[in-house]
Amino acid sequence: MLYSFNNFPFRLFGDNVSEIWTGILQLYRDYTGTGMLAGVFIIAVGVLVYLEKDKDRRVLLVLMPILVFVLFLFPLFAWAVNRYAESEIYYRFLWLLPVTVVIAYVGTKILLFVRGWHRIVAAILLCCIITVCGDYAYDNEYFSKAENAYHVPQVVVDICDEIVIEGREVRAVFPADLVQYVRQYSPYVCLAFGRDVTVDRWNLYNDVYEIFELGLPNGITEAQLLSDVCRSNEVHYVIWDSDREMIGNLADFGFTMISTVGKYDIYIDDKAGLR
260 in any annotated domain: yes
pLDDT digits (tens, 9 = 90+) for 216-232: 888 899 999 999 999 99
pLDDT digits (tens, 9 = 90+) for 74-89: 988 888 887 777 666 8
Contacts 24+ apart (CB under 8 A), 26-35: 27/90, 27/91, 28/72, 28/73, 28/94, 30/91, 31/91, 31/94, 33/135, 34/133, 34/135
- Under 8 Å CB-to-CB from 21, ≥6 apart: which residues? 75
158 in any annotated domain: yes
Residues 126 and 172 in one domain: no
Banded pLDDT at 24 (limits 50, 70, 90): confident
Cut 0.85: pTM above it? no
* 3-state SS class at 28: helix
pLDDT at 36 over 60: yes
Banded pLDDT at 145 (limits 50, 70, 90): confident
Residues 114 and 49 in one domain: yes
Q: What is the mean pLDDT of residues 103-116?
A: 93
Q: What is the mean pLDDT of residues 244-251?
A: 95
pLDDT at 2 over 60: no
Query: 231-241 burial, b if ≥16 CB within 10 A, otherwise e?
Result: beeebbbbbbe
Q: To the nearest whole number, what is the mean pLDDT of the chain? A: 88
Question: Domain boundary at 70, 102, 135, which?
Answer: 135
Banded pLDDT at 9 (limits 50, 70, 90): very low
Residues 126 and 163 in one domain: no
Residues 160 and 261 in one domain: yes
Residues 195 and 265 in one domain: yes
Residues 114 and 161 in one domain: no
Residues 30 and 64 in one domain: yes
pLDDT at 8 over 50: no
75 in any annotated domain: yes
Banded pLDDT at 241 (limits 50, 70, 90): very high
List C-alpha distances in Å: 37 to 6, 100, 130: 34, 10, 7
148 in any annotated domain: no
121 in any annotated domain: yes
List C-alpha distances in Å: 183 to 189, 192, 228: 7, 12, 25
Q: What is the mean pLDDT of residues 102-111?
A: 94
Banded pLDDT at 247 (limits 50, 70, 90): very high
Q: What is the mean pLDDT of residues 106-124?
A: 93
Residues 9 and 131 in one domain: yes
Residues 170 and 205 in one domain: yes
Domain, as residue range, for 13: 5-135
174 in any annotated domain: yes
Residues 129 and 159 in one domain: no
Q: What is the mean pLDDT of residues 100-124?
A: 93
Distance CA 21, CA 72 (A): 10
Distance CA 43, CA 51 (A): 12
pLDDT at position 207: 95
* Burial label, 227 (beta-carbon count in 10 A; 0-12, 13-18, 19+): buried
pLDDT at position 174: 97
235 in any annotated domain: yes
pLDDT at 66 over 70: yes
Residues 9 and 130 in one domain: yes
Question: Domain boundary at 104, 135, 166, which?
Answer: 135
140 in any annotated domain: no
- How many domains is the chain built from? 2
Residues 111 and 208 in one domain: no
pLDDT at 155 over 90: yes
